[in-house]
Structure 1
């Protein structure tokens, strides 16, 4: 494990997961906005949105640990027109700020639905630009054969799709499990305290109660349908990444001595463990989630929750390992 580059490993993986989560939510919103479940979509996907901002902010803070002097972060804005690093930071800040704004206006129900969707679309574009800028930082280094290849943007966007999709699936199932606790129970004698009738605290309490209210039949049908599609998308993305490694290794093996040395990085127990974890999380567990979702009861979602969360955790570990291998292959020509 490349511990020296750990801050950048965590930043890139967390940022790509955040972008992927936002993109998946956007696709879900567009897909259902005119369909049978359009009235259920908001309550299904809203809770996931509120977790994206903190995750990306955490990633940005972690990345600053890579600098000897954190104040150096402000210098990256000076060469936005020529530096992919500057563009990465700019798009990262833009995505975090726009994502936060989207979460706030959604929470407050501010503005029209059309306005919120425009804001979401701009945020999604900033996220795509962020991942592209990240990949170009490495692709543009022509003296590192393992980086100056289309595999880098392929793997970066692969991480975006896999972790974004599984994060959404996990969040949906955890939310469903929380809501299942609020399913109507047989009438018992209880004593309730009156809720505050006004003020900010009342508004927050009311929104939380709305979010955690029991899942309706349509909301559960939409949730399981989303989980099944997430399983399919994750399996395809995982398979693409798995198949790309032999191509990448073969390409490096046919290159100069530096490229051949980089090819050797993608071997051994650490690499095999990365591939196995990716296969288990993105393909095997996703397959079981696809098969299980249709027959799971909304009142007892525990097994499906376990499948989705396990797939997400294992995929996150696999992608962190993959990013570690990415930095391990940083072998320069002539050095």
Structure 2
């Protein structure tokens, strides 16, 4: 793996995952609130919301190490009118800040539901523009054939929603398992604790959300494989430098990336969709969705490492 670019690998992957998770959570809240009401949905989704912020902050901190001296970040901020990197930094901190404010308001239930929804919409838009800015940093380098292609923004946005969806699933079930563990101290065994923590409405919301995440993961997996195939085909037929980049995606790490993503987003999502029902206990679902997320996360980190390995320039 490309250890030299590890800060950027961590930043881009975690930031995209955070944006995707925020958007997916918003979709779940909008769709489910029409059926169950905002209060019932907040009970299920709020714990997952609080997990997004730390992931985003960790990514931002990691990105600063890419500049050797974190204080160099201040110099980058001078070029907002001409630099995609500057826009990325501003949008990244803006998304993290807006997300923190929204999470705080949601926690304290400050403001009306519509006001919080409006803030969530603005935060999601800033996050999506952030992902677009990330992709443009690399797409704009016309001397790097592997990056100056529509496959770059396509892959970034696919990673955003694939990792985001699975992260939400893992966070939802992680929160449930934690509450069950706490409740089991006062209830008569784990089964009694689960019945106390996961009421009928919460169970329905959880299983419906997990089924939706499973379907979305399979669709996004198909899109990602198509993007990879088209990207490699484009590079293979574009000359010597592009051919060098294409060779990066032919080794053991590339195969490992495909296998991990396929197992995580493909096979496990099939089982997740099949076994996510109102009669299912929380533990098997938690194991399924957490395993799926972990496999895809590792696969996407490997894929991002290969992305940086493919930087071969035309000319000097």
1:177: which partner in 2?
Answer: 177
Instruction: From 218, 222, 238, give the equivalent of 2:201.
Output: 218
Structure 1 position 246, deviation (Å): 1.8
The 2-side partners of 1:176 and 1:292 are apart by 17
Question: So what's the TM-score if we normalise by structure 1?
Answer: 0.89
The 1-side partners of 2:105 and 2:278 are apart by 36
Query: After superposition, what is the alpha-carbon deviation per residue over 1:39-58, rounded to whole angstroms, capped at 9, x for unaligned?
Result: 42110100011111111111
8 Å Cα contact 2:18-2:55 kept in structure 1: yes
1:301: which partner in 2?
Answer: 282
Q: Residues 19-168 of structure 1: matches in 2 within 5 Å? A: 19-36=19-36, 38-168=38-168
The 1-side partners of 2:188 and 2:243 are apart by 68
The 1-side partners of 2:18 and 2:208 are apart by 22
Structure 1 residues 280 and 296: CA distance shift in structure 2, 3 A: farther
Instruction: From 247, 265, 281, give the equivalent of 2:230.
Output: 247
Structure 1 position 36, deviation (Å): 3.7
SS of the aligned residue for 1:55 comes to helix
The 1-side partners of 2:28 and 2:147 are apart by 33
In structure 2, the gaps of 5 or more residues are 190-195
8 Å Cα contact 2:44-2:172 kept in structure 1: yes
The 1-side partners of 2:177 and 2:57 are apart by 27
Question: So what's the TM-score if we normalise by structure 2?
Answer: 0.94
In angstroms, what is the RMSD of aligned CA positions?
1.5
Q: Is residue 266 of structure 2 the alignment partner of residue 266 of structure 1?
A: no
2:193: which partner in 1?
Answer: none
Structure 1 position 178, deviation (Å): 2.4
In structure 1, the gaps of 5 or more residues are 188-212
The 2-side partners of 1:121 and 1:73 are apart by 28
8 Å Cα contact 1:228-1:290 kept in structure 2: yes
Aligned pairs, number:
308
The 1-side partners of 2:34 and 2:292 are apart by 30
8 Å Cα contact 1:158-1:241 kept in structure 2: yes
SS of the aligned residue for 1:334 comes to coil
Structure 1 position 33, deviation (Å): 2.3
1:318: which partner in 2?
Answer: 299
The 2-side partners of 1:310 and 1:317 are apart by 11
